[in-house]
């Protein structure tokens, strides 16, 4: 029976020790541990959430970067294409202009040459006429140096004129 | 596994033979199973560790008693063997320094210090001795404080974003949070922070005392949670916490429960049952823990004692039973570790449940 009856001495010490231990642990032990662990849990959860957000953001940024790169490439390609088109156009235009210019210059030159030729011909003609007059003069002078010759000529000329008149009448 | 059944049968027969064998040998040889068992399970004024040869190794403990003539302080070793008792004081172990103090070996106050008044009456003095169990209580309390305050100190010295604690601190954090999150929080909800220190102190106090009780040598080996005074105190604490923090609705449910009126008006049947229930709940807590731990100690000791009982019965039987007993002891030891944890958990869980039951509020649905 004594097994089932609480002993006063042990009860006294038990009360004392348990209350002291309980008060110490209440003040310094459990609340601080529970608070710390719960705070840490919240902190870790928060960190995980933030990490998730960050990786999501990173993925977005990567996607954006890729998109940016792609548009940049496209733009580059169009710019290059446009540039080559422009270049071709410019070259073609320049060629055409050059053709035109050369043709114009050629035509001008031809005209010039023609006019020069005409002028030269005219000059040659006048010179030929002058020369022929002078030659004729000289020849006449030589031929008409004597009286007989002059009379002879006049006669011939007269004959010629009359014969010409006669033939006109006819 | 094929021979398991045969083995079990042989074992059971061996156990059937045990009482007869022990009876036959109790008188003849030195081993007194009962005294060994009770000597361990009950309290004592000395801490008997072991015997080396014939010399007992004993840790002497102080005796503090208030007798009818005043305070007496001394040591447990001041009390002599029963055989030295003279005349009328047969059955008592006399004290060297006081003529009126004895340790009873029979009767109501067996193994306790008694005072024999001049008129021959046996009374129990007010006894504050540091007995073996009290000593174990001190040791357990110190271990408990270390186990909790060291991890708590880590929390004070570290910031929230420091790396997680390792080793013992990490283990204790995990252990505490296991009890807090899985036992206290689901039961008490948002009030758990208020009662968590008490419940956690209960849990770790019981758990450490249980584990230390399993250990067969000092500083363990005492039977603290298997002592009714310890569980009685813990149950009283839960009783006080439960009833002093109870809500108005809790008391209304006790004195005027929602049952048909004839159950409570002429004869207050339900209120009586409810009031009885207030006391039976902590009583169940007390008895459950006490009985579990005491039975564990008794079985562990009994299994060990089989070896010594059988030792005189012939080499074959002795060696067989020794093997069986060692096997059973290992099994019981492991079971006791489990029981230590489960009983601490059950005590804490039921305390939490009782507290939460005392915090009922008027049900919202009318």
Q: What is the DSSP string of B69-111?
A: TEEEEEEGGGB--GGG--GGGTTEEEBSS-SSEEEESSSTTTT
Please judge whether A10 and B177 are an interchain contact, meaning their C-beta atoms are less than 8 angstroms apart. no
**Average pLDDT of the residues in B194-220:** 90
pLDDT in tens, A50-72: 999 999 999 999 999 999 999 99
pLDDT of B327 above 70 = yes
CA B128/CA B92 separation, integer angstroms: 20
Q: How far is A45 from chain B (nearest CA, A)?
A: 12
| Minimal Cβ distance to A31: which of B130, B138, B197 | B197
- Check whether A8 has a pLDDT greater than 70: yes
Task: Kindly indicate the confidence band of residue B54, based on its pLDDT and cuts at 50, 70 and 90.
Answer: confident
Domain regions of chain A by residue span: 8-169
Q: In angstroms, what CA-CA distances link B44 with B41, B104, B199, B227?
A: 9, 11, 30, 12
Average pLDDT over residues B204-221: 87
Mutation target vs B (from A8, A9, A18, A32; most B CBs, 10 A cutoff): A9
Burial class (CB in 10 A: 0-12, 13-18, 19+), A133: exposed
Which bin fits B70, alpha (ψ -120 to 50), beta or left (φ > 0)?
A: left
Q: Which of A6, A22, A36 sits opposite B155 (nearest CB)?
A: A36
**Tokens read off for B319:** 């060696």
Q: How far apart are CA B366 and CA A17, in angstroms?
A: 47
Shortest CB distance from A18 goes to which of B127, B196, B233? B233
In this model, does residue B20 exceed pLDDT 60? no
Q: How far is A21 from chain B (nearest CA, A)?
A: 7
* B200 with A30: Cβ contact below 8 A: yes
| Lookup: tokens for B139 | 């040791």
Q: Give A-chain residues touching B200 at CB under 8 angstroms.
A: 25, 30
pLDDT higher than threshold 50 for residue B25: no
Cβ-based neighbours of B340, under 8 Å, separated by 6 or more: B207, B210, B211, B213, B214, B293
Q: Is A29 on the interface with B (CB under 8 A)?
A: yes
Q: Does A109 touch chain B (CB under 8 A)?
A: no
pLDDT band at residue B240 under the 50/70/90 scheme: very high
Q: Is the CB of residue B103 less than 8 Å from the CB of residue B113?
A: yes
Whole-angstrom distance, CA of residue B354 vs CA of residue B198: 13
Mean pLDDT of B118-126: 82
**Which residues on A lie below 8 Å from B180 (Cβ)?**
34
What is the 8-class DSSP label of residue A27? I
Res. B284 pLDDT band, cuts 50 70 90: very high
Q: Give the pLDDT confidence score for residue B366 in this predicted structure.
A: 41
- Position B29 pLDDT exceeds 60: no
Q: Are A9 and B131 in contact (CB under 8 A)?
A: yes
Summarised one tens digit per residue, pLDDT across range B130-175 is: 888 899 999 999 999 999 999 999 988 888 888 888 899 999 999 9
Q: Which of B173, B229, B232 sits opposite A37 (nearest CB)?
A: B173
- The 3-state DSSP class for residue B361 equals coil
- pLDDT for res B24: 47
The set of long-range contacts for B119-122, using a CB threshold of 8 Å and a minimum separation of 24, is B120/B88
E strand segments, chain B? 46-52, 55-60, 62-67, 70-75, 92-94, 101-104, 113-116, 122-123, 126-127
The average confidence (pLDDT) of chain B is: 83
Q: Would an 8 Å CB–CB cutoff place A120 in contact with chain B? A: no
Decide if A37 and B177 are in contact by the 8 Å CB cutoff: yes
Average model confidence (pLDDT) for chain A? 89
**Matching residue, tokens 């869980």:** B349
Does an H or E element contain B258, and which?
none
pLDDT in tens, A86-117: 999 999 999 999 999 999 999 999 999 999 99
Contact B164 A40 (CB under 8 A): yes
Point out which residues pair with B114 in neighbouring strands: B102
- Is the pTM higher than 0.80? The answer reads no
Report the residue from A7, A22, A37 with minimal CB separation from B198.
A22
Cβ within 8 Å of B, A 40-59: 40, 43
DSSP per-residue codes, A87-111: HHHHHHHHHHHHHHHHHHHHHHHHH
Of B148, B205, B227, which has the smallest distance from its Cβ to A18's Cβ? B205
Position A22 pLDDT exceeds 90: yes
* Prediction ipTM score: 0.84
Q: Is A12 on the interface with B (CB under 8 A)?
A: yes
């Amino acid at each position: 029976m004594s097994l089932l009856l609480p002993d006063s001495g042990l009860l006294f010490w038990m009360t004392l020790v348990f209350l002291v231990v309980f008060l110490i642990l209440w003040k310094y032990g459990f609340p601080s541990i529970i608070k710390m662990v719960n705070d840490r849990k919240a902190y870790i959860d928060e960190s995980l959430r933030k990490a998730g957000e960050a990786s999501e953001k990173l993925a977005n940024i990567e996607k954006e970067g890729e998109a940016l790169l792609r548009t940049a490439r496209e733009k580059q390609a169009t710019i290059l294409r446009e540039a080559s088109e422009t270049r071709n156009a410019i070259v073609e235009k320049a060629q055409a202009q050059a053709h035109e210019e050369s043709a114009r210059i050629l035509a001008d030159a031809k005209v010039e040459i023609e006019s020069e030729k005409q002028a030269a011909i005219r000059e040659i003609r006048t010179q030929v006429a002058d020369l022929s007059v002078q030659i004729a003069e000289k020849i006449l002078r030589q031929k008409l140096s004597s009286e007989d010759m002059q009379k002879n000529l006049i006669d011939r000329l007269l004959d010629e004129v009359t014969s010409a008149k006669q033939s006109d009448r006819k | 596994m094929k021979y398991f059944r045969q083995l079990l049968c042989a074992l059971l027969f061996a156990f059937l033979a045990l009482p007869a064998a022990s009876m036959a040998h109790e008188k003849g040889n030195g081993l007194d199973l009962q005294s060994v068992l009770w000597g361990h399970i009950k309290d004592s004024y000395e801490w008997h560790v072991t015997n080396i040869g014939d010399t007992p190794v004993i840790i002497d403990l102080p005796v503090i008693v208030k007798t009818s003539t005043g305070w007496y302080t001394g040591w447990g070793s001041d009390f002599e063997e029963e055989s030295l008792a003279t005349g009328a004081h047969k059955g008592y172990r006399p004290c060297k320094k006081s003529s009126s103090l004895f340790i009873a070996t029979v009767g109501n106050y067996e193994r306790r210090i008694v005072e024999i008044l001049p008129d021959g009456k046996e009374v129990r003095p007010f006894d504050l001795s540091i007995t073996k169990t009290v000593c174990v209580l001190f040791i357990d309390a110190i271990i408990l404080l270390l186990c909790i305050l060291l991890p708590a100190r880590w929390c004070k010295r570290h910031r929230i974003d420091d790396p997680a604690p390792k080793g013992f601190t990490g283990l204790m954090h995990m252990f505490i949070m296991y009890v807090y999150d899985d036992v206290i929080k689901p039961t008490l909800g948002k009030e758990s922070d208020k009662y968590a220190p008490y419940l956690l102190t209960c849990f770790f106090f019981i758990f450490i005392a249980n584990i230390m009780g399993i250990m067969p040598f000092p500083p363990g080996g005492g039977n603290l949670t298997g002592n009714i005074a310890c569980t009685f105190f813990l149950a009283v604490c839960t009783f006080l916490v439960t009833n002093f923090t109870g809500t108005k609705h809790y008391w209304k449910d006790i004195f005027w429960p929602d049952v048909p009126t004839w159950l409570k008006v002429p004869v207050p049947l339900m209120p009586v049952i409810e009031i009885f229930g207030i006391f039976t709940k902590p009583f169940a807590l007390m008895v459950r823990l006490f009985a579990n731990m005491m039975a564990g100690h008794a079985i562990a000791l009994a299994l060990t004692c089989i070896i010594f009982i059988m030792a005189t019965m012939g080499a074959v039987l002795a060696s067989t039973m020794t093997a069986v007993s060692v096997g059973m002891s290992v099994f019981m030891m492991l079971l006791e570790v489990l029981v230590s944890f489960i009983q601490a958990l059950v005590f804490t869980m039921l305390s939490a449940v009782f507290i939460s039951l005392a915090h009922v509020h008027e049900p919202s649905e009318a």
